[in-house]
Structure 1
C-alpha cells in the first residue's frame, strides 16, 4: 500500500479534479445554452465520465474515496484507521475547494465567490439522502461482487442520480462545501450546506447498515455441512 502522504495527495488531487469538472462543466454548459435541461445534461456527462477516469487511475493508490461520507463508512468498517480517515477528509475538502478555484480561474471568473443558489427543503434533503445511500450501496455491493466494475458503476450511478434526484445528486460533503464557493450553475448557498451534509451522512449510514445485512456471506447450514461430509 502506498504511504499516507501519497494517499492523501491522491485524495486531494482526485477531489480537486472532480470538483473542477463539476463546476467547470456547469459554467461551460450555462454559457453555451439557456436551456436548463441541456445545461444539466452538459454538467452530468462530464461528471460521470471523470469519475470513471479518477477512480480507475487513483483507486490503486488511495482507494479513490474523494468523499467524506465514503471515508466515514470505511472508517466505521475498520478498513481505514481513524487518524487516516480524518486526514483523508481534510484532504478531500481542501482538494474540493482548490477545484472550485481552478474552475473559476479557467473561466476568468472571480477566484473566490459565495453562491446565492438556494437548495433547501425536505425534498432536497431526502434527495441527498437517497443520492448518498445509492452511491455507498453501489460501492459496497461492487466490493462484494464486482470490485473491478467500481469505476464504471459509480460513474453511471452518479450520471443517473443527477436526473432522478431533486437535488441533482451532490452525494458528497466535500463537493457540497466546494460548490458553496461558486456562484454559478453548480452552486449552493453556504446556509444550505448543513442540511445537505447531514442528509448525505445519514444516507451513507443507512446504506452501510443495509449492505452489512444484505451482502453478508452466508454460513453453510447444518444440513449442507452434513451433505458435504456424506459425500467425502
Structure 2
C-alpha cells in the first residue's frame, strides 16, 4: 500500500463502504422487485455483492487497505498496523459511508430515504452464523495477505459470495454494513433492535480468527523457540 495521507484513506473507506452498501441494498431491492422466489432473490443479492467487493478492494485497497468493515479495522489495530486514532477514523468513515449507501439505494429506487427495518434477524443460530462469517472473513484476509496478497480481492469476494449461502444470517460479517442495513425496510434489512447481537458476534468471531491465525500462520516462532532450547 502506498503512503496516502489519512484524509485520502478515510475518503476511500467511506466511498468503498458506500458503494458496498448501495450494492447490497440496491441489488436486494432489485431482486425482490423482479421475483417472488426467495432463493432467486438471494442469488440476485449475492452475486453483485461478491462482484463489487472484488472491484472495490482492487481499486481502493492501494489507498486505504480497503477495510470497509470495523471488524477488519479492529484486527489491524490489534496487530498494531493501524494507530488507535486512525482506526477510530476508519470506523467512523465506514459507518458514515454505509449509511450514505443506504440513502443512495433508496433514492435510486424512489423509496423513503429514512426507513427503519422491520426484518427480524435474531437468536442464537443467527448470532453463531455471524460469528462464523466474521471468523472466516478475517481468516481469509490474514492468510491471503501472507500467502497471496494479489489474490485478496478475489478471495474476499468469493468468500462473501459463499458465506451468503452457508450461513443462516446471510453473512453480514460487518458492523458498519449491519448498521446501514438497519435503515432499510427491504430484502437486505435488519431490525435496529437486532443489531447488538449481530455486532457482538461479528467482533467476537473476528477476534477469535486473529488469535487462531496468529498461531497458525507463524511457524517461525516455534522453530525459533526450538532453536533457542537446543542452544541452551
Both structures adopt the same fold (TM-score exceeding 0.5) = yes
CA distance in 1, matches of 2:158, 2:210: 20
Query: Which whole-Å CA distance do the structure 1 matches of 2:103 and 2:25 have between them?
Result: 9
Q: In the TM superposition, what is the alpha-carbon distance from 1:217 to its structure 2 partner?
A: 3.9
* Aligned length, in residue pairs: 225
| TM-score normalized with structure 1 length | 0.95
Matches within 5 A, 1:116-155: 116-155=118-157
Q: Which residue in 1 is equivalent to 2:95?
A: 93
- CA deviations over 1:194-221 (Å, ceiling 9, x no partner): 0000000000000000000000142365
Q: Counterpart of 1:117 in 2: which secondary structure?
A: coil
1:46 counterpart (48, 68, 72): 48
1:34 aligns with 2:61: no
Verify: 1:110 aligned to 2:98, yes or no. no
Residue in 2 that maps onto 1:7: 9
Distance 1:40 1:177 in 2: 20
Query: Which protein shows a greater Rg?
Result: 1
Q: Distance in 2 between matches of 1:57 and 1:211?
A: 26
Inter-partner Cα distance in structure 1 for 2:214 and 2:157: 23
Structure 1: segments with no counterpart, 5+ residues? 227-232
SS in 2 for 1:166: coil
Q: TM-score, normalised by structure 2?
A: 0.95
Runs of 4+ with >2 A deviation: 219-223
Instruction: Please give the per-residue CA displacement for 1:6-56, whole angstroms capped at 9, x wherever unaligned.
Output: 000000000000000000000000000000000000000000000000000
